Structure 1
Amino acid sequence: MAPSPTTSSIRVTHRTERSFASTILQGTLRLCRGYLISIPTVARGSIKLSPPSLSRCQVEVREICNIHIYDISLKEPSKPECRRRIYYIAGGSWQMPPGRQHWMTGAQLVQDLEDTEFSIVSVPLAQHTPAPKAWPQLLEVYEELMKLSATAGEKVIWAGDSSGGNLVLCLTIDALKTFPQVKAPDAVLAICPSIDLTRDNPQIQVVDSDEPILTMASIQQSAKAWAGEWNRKDPRLSPIFADLTMLKEKGVKVHGVTAGYDLLGPDGLLFRQKCQDVGVEGEWLEWDKQMHVFPLTWMFLHEGKEGLHWIVDVLARV
């Protein structure tokens, strides 16, 4: 379905269909709901990750400000010069390292987008480093990465899903004020992001009966773990409470994906409206009857593949 015609700064593509395979998967997941999210024991600091084998891509690791960065690019000799850099923070309730789906998605984007590298940022996790402890280091690595990309002449997109979508929004907004002299990213992409850690939106309860993965208990637990002693209305935790005018002033586009059967979806729609209210430009995919971070299911679901195609189309124009 084509984007809705609009004079708004936000361009929305709204889809409503659901495949039989998606219906069956969601029903099966609902039977296990509440048992799907298992919080692992993790090391302190930036975790050293073990990338899976990626057929056409290679992974190189570097360390910036004591944070491990994993750069996914096409294998030599076809590796092009990087002109577009995607810095990606994986979702996982601020408590889980990237999963196989994140690596595979990164590799696919590198193959589908010309002159692009996909860099997974292994951020400290909430078990040992909740937001009040992690924030100075996150700002430091953000600043350094943006300086490196500016020197290299790269276009930059900060992207993430779920809690990672929360982080790229909060980091970008805070960094634009903290480092006004540093070049702003060209865009932010938030896939089914966590927008309001208060979890006070009454529409969340409406979605609850259809949600196949997340539970009210899980999203409350993850918010509490990440927030630490900070008030959950702090804009470094909940971008819905942030001043978004700097995004417009700096020309940072905000792209997003929301799903109708996702507990985080209602807040995503509110954030999209707030972006529109202050004139922030961006493109958003709103897909009814889809589950949390459905574009990451592109390897086996039609809707996931369509969601990834939409992301490729949007990022190709950055």
Structure 2
Amino acid sequence: MTSGTRPPLIRTVASTPAERRVVRALALEPGGPPTLRARVAGRVIRAVGRSAWEFGPDTDAGLLRIQRATALLSRFQAVPRGVAIEPQDLGPASGEWVRAGAPDPDKAFLYLHGGGYFFGGPRLYRPFSWRLSAATRRPVLMLDYRLAPAHTPADALEDALRAYDLLLERHEPARIVVGGDSAGGHLALALLLALKETGRPLPAAAVCLSPWVDMLCAADSHTANARTDSLIPAGKLAALGRRFAEDKEDNDPLFSPMRGDLTGLPPMLFVASGTEILRDETRDIAERARQAGVQAVYQEWDGLVHVFPVFCDYVPEGKAAFRHIAEFLLSAGA
């Protein structure tokens, strides 16, 4: 790929130390050892983020405590000058449009945030969403879907379908991309399967960052990487998954996209860290997609925190991920 087709965040000439650091970060590739900044960030995230979930109560009150804490944190998430934020009403849910750089108004990226279906939101993700808009050159609709414990993943899927239908009213399907991370990656996959089942037009491509593919948490990495995952306590996620999967049929795609029929889905990019508990199921669904005839790309980065692109302010590899997302969308014709 030539420098002319790269996203606008790439700088080919760097005249200051800060610019040179940005260029070096953007040039990072999967397969190498984690940078020093990534290792330090992982330790801090483990001490703060993972501990807050791991040692909290397994009750609705425990979920709400984390939900309130992250909502407070989101108030301090700023964006650079020139980034436009516009609210979007979506019935019982809401969202916000994020536009950075020079996005193409004929395109759109529907993004579904992570957070175990019980925390997170567009404001918390602003450092991520503006970079996603700039790198992919398209407006990003960050969905603020309804959260547990008051709501269920099924409610979140209804919200995602409503948001996608809004995009279909404004854009050709070939101009739409969907994506998500962690629980939002699960929701993105469930959305694709629901679109297929209901006969709606599918988007041009999908991006799944460390998706929580299987609520039963049955993959080997849930055990093998239980100690090395810097963000997610394996036991807590498994308990949450059992709660959400209760009374679901084994072939329910919302219960587990891993069990869904992936035939006919659009090109997909899957990204994971080699040390996180969701590594194996991300690998597995990428392989299942390829076997179903889907153009699927899997990237595995070594030693990084779960959904490291979301921590792009602190993890250099997170900044590099936006280039890889942009290049994937170009290769997929999206």
Same fold (TM over 0.5): yes
Letter aligned with residue 64 of structure 2? P
Which whole-Å CA distance do the structure 1 matches of 2:42 and 2:304 have between them? Answer: 9
Is 1:148 the counterpart of 2:170? The answer is yes
Task: After TM superposition, list the pairs within 5 Å mapping 1:29-40 onto structure 2.
Answer: 29-32=45-48, 34-37=50-53, 39-40=63-64
Choose the corresponding residue for 1:106, options 115, 125, 129: 129
Structure 1 residue 223 and structure 2 residue 261: aligned? no
Aligned to 1:245: 263
Match of 2:300 among 286, 302, 307: 286
**Offset at 1:311?**
1.7
Query: After alignment, is 260-269 or 92-101 more displaced?
Result: 92-101
- Is 1:174 aligned to 2:194, yes or no? yes
Partner of 2:254: 236
Q: 1:146 to 1:223 in 2, by over 3 A?
A: farther
CA–CA separation in structure 1 for the residues paired with 2:78 and 2:302: 34
SS of 2:202's equivalent in the other structure is coil
Q: Distance in 2 between matches of 1:141 and 1:101?
A: 19
Distance in 2 between residues matched to 1:34 and 1:50, nearest whole Å: 21
Contact kept, 8 Å, 2:286 with 2:297, in 1: the verdict is no
Structure 2, unpaired ranges of 5+: 1-28, 54-61, 69-73
What letter matches 2:185 in structure 1?
G
Tell me by how many angstroms 1:93 deviates: 0.6
* Residue 231 (structure 1) shift: 4.1
In structure 1, the residue corresponding to 2:176 is in which secondary structure?
Answer: strand
Corresponding residue number in structure 1 for 2:8: none
Decide which structure has greater strand share: 1
Per the TM alignment, residue 50 of structure 1 is displaced from its structure 2 partner at its CA by 6.9
TM-score between the two structures when normalised by the length of structure 1: 0.81
Query: Equivalents in 1 of 2:304, 2:215: separation in Å?
Result: 22
Distance in 2, matches of 1:60 and 1:32, equals 31
Write out per-residue CA displacement over residues 72-92 of structure 1, whole angstroms, 9 at most, x where no aligned residue: 124xxx866513211011001
Any conservation in 1 of the 2:213–2:256 contact (CA below 8 Å)?
yes
User: Which residue pairs with 1:275 in the alignment?
Assistant: 289
Cα deviation, residue 159, structure 1: 0.9
RMSD over equivalenced CA pairs, Å = 2.7
1:90 to 113, 116, 123: 113
- TM-superposed CA distance for 1:128, in Å, is 1.3
Matches within 5 A, 1:60-139: 60-74=86-100, 81-98=104-121, 102-114=125-137, 116-139=138-161
**Does 1:161 find its partner at 2:181?**
yes
Does the C-alpha gap of structure 1 residues 51 and 187 become closer, same or farther in structure 2, counting only changes over 3 Å?
A: farther
Q: 1:261/1:278 Cα in 2 relative to 1: closer, same or farther (>3 Å)?
A: same
Give 1:310's aligned amino acid: H
Report the CA distance shift for 1:224/1:149 in structure 2 as closer, same or farther (over 3 A): farther
% identical equivalent positions: 18
Counterpart AA for 1:255: L
Greater helix share, structure number: 2
> Aligned pair in 2 of structure 1 residues 100, 63: CA closer, same or farther (>3 Å)?
closer
CA displacement, residues 126-162 of structure 1 (integer Å, 9 cap, x when unaligned): 2111134554454344334333323xx7711111111
Partners of 2:95 and 2:194 lie apart in 1 by: 21
Q: What's the secondary structure of 2:171's corresponding residue?
A: helix
Whole-Å separation in 2 of the counterparts to 1:157 and 1:110: 12
**Is residue 31 of structure 2 the alignment partner of residue 15 of structure 1?**
yes
Distance, in Å, in 2 between the alignment partners of 1:124 and 1:309 is 30
Amino acid in structure 1 at the alignment position of 2:41: L
Contact 1:71/1:117 (<8 A) preserved = yes
- Aligned pair in 2 of structure 1 residues 221, 233: CA closer, same or farther (>3 Å)? farther
Alpha-carbon distance in structure 1 between the residues aligned to 2:250 and 2:75 = 33
SS across alignment from 1:71: strand
